[in-house]
Amino acid sequence: MAITADVRIQSEPFDTGAEIASLSSGRRDNGALVTFSGICRDEAGTLAALEIEHYPGMAEAEISRIAAEAAERWPVTAITVIHRHGRIVTGDPIVLVMTVSEHRQAAFAAAEFMMDFLKSRAPFWKKEHRVDGSSGEWVDAKETDEKALTRWE
C-alpha cells in the first residue's frame, strides 16, 4: 500500500505512549496496533551504556526502504520507526517500531519483519561502555540476526 512511514533518527528519548496516541487518534478503521520497543540491556550488570553511531542520511533512507518493503508485503495503514543514536544508558529505549493495520496478523508480521531487517541492515553500530569505567568493544553482529532474515525470503 502507498503509505509513507514516519522515520525519525534522533538522540533524544521518545514517548511510546504519545506515539501510540498520535497514530490511533482520529482513526476508526484500524483494529490492530503493535509496538516493539528495543531497550538497552545491562548484560548481567556489566554494561553502563551504549554509544550508538549511525550513518546520517543512509540510516533514514535504509529504514524507509525497509518500511516500504513491509508496507508492500502486508496491508498496514501506518508505520512509525524511531531509532536513537548517541549515548544510551541501560534501561533506556533505543528503538521503537509501531505498525497499524486492520488485522492483527499484518501488524505483527510487519513489525517483526522490520525489526529483523533493522538489526542487520540499518547502518547503526553499538559500542559498549562498561560499568568498570572502561570503554569496551564494538558489539559484534550476531549470526542469528543475519539468519533471521532468511525466513522472510
Residues that bind a copy of itself (CB under 8 A): 15-18, 20-21, 24-42, 44-45, 90-91, 93, 102, 104-105, 107-108, 111-112, 115, 148
Smaller CB separation from a copy of itself, 58 or 104: 104
Q: Work out what residue 53 binds among a copy of itself, another protein, none; the CB cut-off runs from 5 to 8 Å by kind.
A: another protein
Residue 137 CB, shortest distance to a copy of itself, in Å, is: 18
* Half-sphere exposure in the Cβ direction for 143 (13 Å, CA): 0
8 A C-beta contact, residue 24 and residue 33? yes
Residue 82 CB, shortest distance to another protein, in Å, is: 12
What 55-63 contacts at long range (C-beta under 8 Å, 24+ apart), as own/partner pairs, is 55/123, 55/124, 56/9, 58/123, 59/9, 59/83, 59/85, 59/122, 59/123, 59/124, 60/7, 60/9, 62/121, 62/122, 62/123, 63/5, 63/7, 63/9, 63/118, 63/122
Q: Rule CB under 8 A: is residue 53 a binding residue for another protein?
A: yes
Grid coordinates 536513537 are at which residue? 84
* Binding segment (CB under 8 A) for another protein, from list 18-26, 40-48, 70-78, 121-129: 121-129
Beta bridge partners of 80: 6, 98
Smaller CB separation from a copy of itself, 27 or 57: 27
Residue 9 CB, shortest distance to another protein, in Å, is: 11
Q: What is the distance in angstroms between the CA of the first residue and the CA of the last residue of the chain? A: 20
Smaller CB separation from a copy of itself, 31 or 57: 31
Q: Work out what residue 95 binds among a copy of itself, another protein, none; the CB cut-off runs from 5 to 8 Å by kind.
A: another protein
Residue 144 CB, shortest distance to another protein, in Å, is: 12
